[in-house]
Amino acid sequence: MTRIDHALTLAAALSWLLLAGPAAAETLEMPDKRPLVSESTPESPLPGRGMSMEAVRAEFGEPQERLPAVGGYSAIRPPITRWVYEDFTVHFENRSVIHAVRHHPVKSDP
């Protein structure tokens, strides 16, 4: 490319930027906390995030089923273990709770 070609390319790019005008954006406000189906209630508590396996076992008893860990083959993929109880399933990363999910009732077909 010649010097004139570079100058024309630069002039075209600057013209496009000037014609594009300033950018505008909106701010989307989100509530601090959204209600989740799996939230713990006083009538039916769930294990809290960060609880140890020992604390979950002490408070909720032995699970009906312990699923084998998946992952764990590198530092960025720690082992994830699931314990299944009658009304909920607990997900652990290493030995700490990361999530507890309440089981939904199965709807029967009419």
In the chain, where the domains are located = 53-102
pLDDT tens for 37-94 read: 455 666 679 999 999 999 999 999 999 999 999 998 888 899 999 999 999 999 999 9
pTM: 0.60
Please state whether beta strands 88-93 and 65-70 pair in parallel, antiparallel, or not at all (unpaired). Answer: unpaired
Contact partners, residue 93, CB within 8 Å, separation at least 6: 78, 79, 80
